[in-house]
Structure 1
């Protein structure tokens, strides 16, 4: 009988896949990063406990093209500064990806808020334009011109915070709305940069009911850069979190808040 591909894999095949995944070569991306100060109350409002605001109400958007061999990827992240247990990092609200493969792995393993979307990174001479779009709405655009090189930073360790959870099958679970207790994940990335340039430009946030990033306005632009970098990453469960405290925030993960409920939308047959 021919191999049934949905059948069980052998122990040797599973071990080989894990070994290959642990020896990935450096994968370089070209990305535009913009950081700005926003409304402190707005930044605090989007942070589920136990995350807390930092000393500055910073917002960061990262828009990149990743050089995966034979499988180029557009990847984006829109995040706010956050702190947990003495560690400062970033809490992403939405992470558009151009391929399902990158989306599924991040959501299922780390709890990343990834969604399918369109990612644009364009450069013509000194002119740069980068954007994130979903549902036909370009909700973030970064545009400007390269104004000069920047010194290469030393390799850096950076942390992103994610919440990993599954809504309850019956809509209620143990009363918390989840099948099991949600967890807070620390995802630590070691980042190396081989090229970095400053951009003089601006950030445009457009209204979208699906990605309401316009609620985090640009009060003061800290800076915009374009660069080439590579990172590795490792996630750990930092703690189990209060399910009832997290429940009011899980709509952040979905385009339609009704998706988290066990029932059809009103008016459906």
Structure 2
């Protein structure tokens, strides 16, 4: 009988797959990083407990093209500065990716808020443009001119905070308490250039980053970097504490807590979409 590809894999095949994934080569990306100071009340409002604001209300947008062999990827993130248990890091609100392959591992393993989207990083001479777009709206756009080459920073450790959870089978709340994940990245940079320009935030009902306005631009760079990452569950968080923020994860306004848009009708029982 021919091999049934949905059939169980052998222990040897599982060990081989794990061994191969543990020896991945360095994967480099080229991208723009923008950091700005925003309204401190806005940062505090988007942080689920037990995350807390840091001493400075910062937002970071990263927009990159990743050199995956044979599978180039556009990857982005918009995050706010946060702290947990004495650890300072970033809490991403949205992470657009251009391929489903990049979504699966991040969402299922770490709880990353990844969504399919469009990621653009373009350079023409000294002019650079980078953007994150979904549903036809470029909700973050960076435009500027590349300037001086900057000294390379030392390898650095950076932490992102994620909430890993599953919606309940009965459609009400979560299946269990959420896991607050510390995802630690070791970052190395091989090229870094200053960019003089601006950050444009556009209104989007799906990605309301415009609620975190640019009050003061702190950093704007174009660079090449590589990172590895590992995660751990730092704390279990009660489902009731996470539920008020769960709409951050979904586009559908009827997900769990949100009501339908005004003027819309609820689908009949047993009918309707995903």
What is the Cα deviation at residue 256 of structure 1? Answer: 1.6
Output the CA distance in 2 between the equivalents of 1:46 and 1:97. Answer: 22
- Between the two proteins, the alignment pairs up a number of residues equal to 265
After superposition, the C-alpha distances for 1:222-254 in whole angstroms (9 at most, x for unaligned) are 010000000000000000012111110010000
Tell me whether 1:125 sits opposite 2:125 in the alignment: yes
Query: Structure 1 stretches of 5 or more lacking a match?
Result: none
State the TM-score, normalized to the length of structure 1. 0.96
Q: SS state of the match for residue 176, structure 2?
A: coil
Tell me whether 1:228 sits opposite 2:224 in the alignment: yes
Output the CA distance in 2 between the equivalents of 1:257 and 1:59. Answer: 25
Output the CA distance in 2 between the equivalents of 1:202 and 1:236. Answer: 36
Alignment partner, residue 160 of structure 1 = 160
What is the Cα deviation at residue 268 of structure 1? Answer: 2.1
Q: Could you list the runs of 4 or more consecutive aligned residues of structure 1 that deviate by over 3 angstroms after TM superposition? A: 263-267
What is the Cα deviation at residue 178 of structure 1? Answer: 1.3
Alignment partner, residue 188 of structure 2 = 192
Output the CA distance in 1 between the equivalents of 2:174 and 2:246. Answer: 11
Alignment partner, residue 34 of structure 1 = 34
Q: SS state of the match for residue 9, structure 1?
A: coil
Output the CA distance in 1 between the equivalents of 2:115 and 2:265. Answer: 24
State the TM-score, normalized to the length of structure 2. 0.94
Output the CA distance in 2 between the equivalents of 1:53 and 1:31. Answer: 26
After superposition, the C-alpha distances for 1:148-190 in whole angstroms (9 at most, x for unaligned) are 1110000000000000000110123xxxx21121110000000
Instruction: State the superposition RMSD in angstroms.
Output: 1.5
Q: SS state of the match for residue 51, structure 2?
A: coil
Alignment partner, residue 84 of structure 2 = 84
Tell me whether 1:98 sits opposite 2:117 in the alignment: no
Map residues 103-182 of structure 1 onto 2, 5 A cutoff: 103-172=103-172, 177-182=173-178
Query: Structure 2 stretches of 5 or more lacking a match?
Result: 269-274
What is the Cα deviation at residue 2 of structure 1? Answer: 1.0
Output the CA distance in 1 between the equivalents of 2:256 and 2:27. Answer: 35
**More moved, 37-46 vs 177-186:** 177-186
Alignment partner, residue 213 of structure 1 = 209
Q: SS state of the match for residue 255, structure 2?
A: helix
After superposition, the C-alpha distances for 1:117-162 in whole angstroms (9 at most, x for unaligned) are 0000000111000000001111000010011111000000000000
Tell me whether 1:70 sits opposite 2:63 in the alignment: no
Alignment partner, residue 267 of structure 2 = 268
Output the CA distance in 1 between the equivalents of 2:137 and 2:220. Answer: 22
